[in-house]
Amino acid sequence: MLLQGKKILIGVTAGIAAYKIPLLVRLLKKAGALVQVVQTPASLDFVRPIVLSTLSGNPCPSEFSSESGDWNSHVDMALWANLIVLAPLTANTLAKMANGLCDNLVLATYLSAKCPVLFAPAMDLDMYAHPTTKKNIDMLKSFGNTEIPAETGFLASGLEGEGRMAEPETIYKAILAKFSTGYLDGKTILINAGPTYEAIDPVRFIGNRSTGRMGIALAEEAAALGAKVYLVLGPSAIHVENPNILVKRVESAKEMYTLCTDIFPEVDAAILSAAVADFRPKNQSKQKIKKELGAADIALEMNPDILKTLGERKQHQVLIGFALETNDEIANAKKKIANKNLDYIVLNSLNDKGAGFGYLTNKIQIIDKQNKIYDFELKAKTELAADILNTVFQHEV
Ligand code: C5P
């Protein structure tokens, strides 16, 4: 698990977005983290401690002493934490932090901490744009704290603009990045994913059942390990929101080819997991083809092989392809390593239940160019993403 045993303290202040913090606690717990939440007294109007203590598995104090008379030691909590996250962070608490004020448990904990601190501002757009707020944010950053910038969208005031707390998933990813083991720090990786759609006319296309899930999991994991990731993504329904992933949306194999070949020279590695359509209609009708014309034959032509092209142009890059075979899997995958000049190939099984397109799980084998085979159990694509990156990069990068 990505955050196994990591001690994370969340300081909640009095913003409406506090209602989203239970979701963040859930994500952290699922990733194996130990979570302690502390609230400001004013935040109790927005989220109740019973929710946060139940989900975190720890009491959620908001005062220096509990009703039973025990001391809720801000010093102990601050020194326990490997990471402190202030979310949502109001303009008021932000200003107090910038100036060293310490009139509640959250502020006292922050001031006692020695670990890294992330903060996610949340306020109305004019408050966020105010020069005082900007100055206070800059001041917090100058102390070595990391901002998770507010996002643009609907605000509780009814106005729309910048100031909304980053979504729990975005905060979670910022936390993952903080705990990155760093073996991909400073590396740039190109990943492609998803199906491609090959237009017959403006309405119809030839496509396939790929969801993009495996490649997206790889992109997320690589970003969490510190890499800068280019994700060239075909028409997948999955939305990718990660500050360390540059998502380039494409539709056809031709568009995917152009982007991948453009980006390839500047990367350290490329992982081609996309289910690129092998053929496209030779002619694309500008208008919707009328059914009154009767069933037409669709003449096809080959799409360029992106992976093969990158293999031909490869210099310093580590190149990883995927293969989905129905027979003579290993022999065919080995041939592909040679034909496409790959360093590794990830072989997907179609013979195992729960593996392949549309599933959250997959079963893979990785083969390297010396024909060494690495076997993996059927498991979640997110876990396999970590296995693939560990296998490939701990050796090569
Ligand atoms: O040759 P085959 O299609 O089985 O190889 C699969 C691998 O090649 C995958 O990594 C896939 O992304 C890539 N590929 C490609 N361009 C194509 C077809 C496949 O990059 N036109």
Whether the Cβ atoms of residue 165 and residue 122 lie closer than 8 Å to each other: yes
pTM: 0.65
Quick: pLDDT tens for 145-182. 999 999 999 999 999 999 999 999 999 999 988 887 67
CATH 3.30.420.40 fits 7-178, yes or no: no
DSSP string, 167-224: PHHHHHHHHHHHT---TTTT-EEEEEESB--EESSSS-EE-----SHHHHHHHHHHHH
Residue 302, number of CB atoms within 10 A of its CB: 9
3-state helix, strand, coil in the chain (%, to 5): 35, 25, 40
Show the tokens assigned to 29: 């717990």
**Confidence at residue 198, expressed as pLDDT on a 0 to 100 scale:** 98
- Outline which parts of the chain fall under CATH 3.40.50.1950: 7-178
Q: How far is the CA of 346 from the centre of ligand 1 (A)?
A: 11
Which of 86, 101, 97, 90 is CA-nearest to residue 38?
Answer: 86
> Among 302, 306, 367, which is best to mutate for testing ligand 1, by the most ligand atoms less than 8 A from CB?
306
Whether the Cβ atoms of residue 253 and residue 198 lie closer than 8 Å to each other: yes
Whether the Cβ atoms of residue 36 and residue 81 lie closer than 8 Å to each other: yes
Catalytic residue among 92, 208, 341, 390, which?
Answer: 208
Residue 208 annotated as catalytic: yes
Show the tokens assigned to 149: 């910038």
* CA 323 to ligand 1: nearest atom: 6
Q: How far is the CA of 325 from the centre of ligand 1 (A)?
A: 11
Mean pLDDT for the chain overall: 94
- Outline which parts of the chain fall under CATH 3.40.50.10300: 188-396
* Strand-pair partners of 247: 231
Is there an atom of ligand 1 within 6 Å of 12 CB? Answer: no
One-letter identity of residue 124: D
Residue 296, number of CB atoms within 10 A of its CB: 11
Is there an atom of ligand 1 within 6 Å of 307 CB? Answer: yes
CATH class of 188-396: alpha beta
Quick: pLDDT tens for 250-304. 999 999 999 999 999 999 999 999 999 999 999 999 999 999 988 889 999 999 9
Q: Which protein residue's CA is at the shortest distance from atom 4 of ligand 1?
A: 323
Which of 101, 118, 111 is CA-nearest to residue 78?
Answer: 111
> Among 305, 318, 319, which is best to mutate for testing ligand 1, by the most ligand atoms less than 8 A from CB?
305
Map tokens 């704290």 to a residue.
Answer: 145
**Confidence at residue 97, expressed as pLDDT on a 0 to 100 scale:** 98
Is there an atom of ligand 1 within 6 Å of 276 CB? Answer: yes
Is there an atom of ligand 1 within 6 Å of 274 CB? Answer: yes
Show the tokens assigned to 390: 């560990």
**Confidence at residue 396, expressed as pLDDT on a 0 to 100 scale:** 52
Is there an atom of ligand 1 within 6 Å of 278 CB? Answer: yes
* Strand-pair partners of 300: 281
Question: Tens place of pLDDT for every residue, the chain, 397 residues?
Answer: 779 899 999 999 999 999 999 999 999 999 999 999 999 999 999 999 999 999 999 999 999 998 888 899 999 999 999 999 999 999 999 999 999 999 999 999 999 999 999 999 999 999 999 999 999 999 999 999 999 999 999 999 999 999 999 999 999 999 988 887 678 988 999 999 999 999 999 999 999 999 999 999 999 999 988 899 999 999 999 999 887 899 999 999 999 999 999 999 999 999 999 999 999 999 999 999 999 988 889 999 999 999 999 999 999 999 999 998 888 899 999 999 999 999 999 998 777 777 777 778 889 999 999 999 999 999 999 899 999 999 998 755 4
DSSP string, 21-56: HHHHHHHHHHTT-EEEEEE-GGGGGTS-HHHHHHHH
Maximal CA-CA distance, the chain = 84
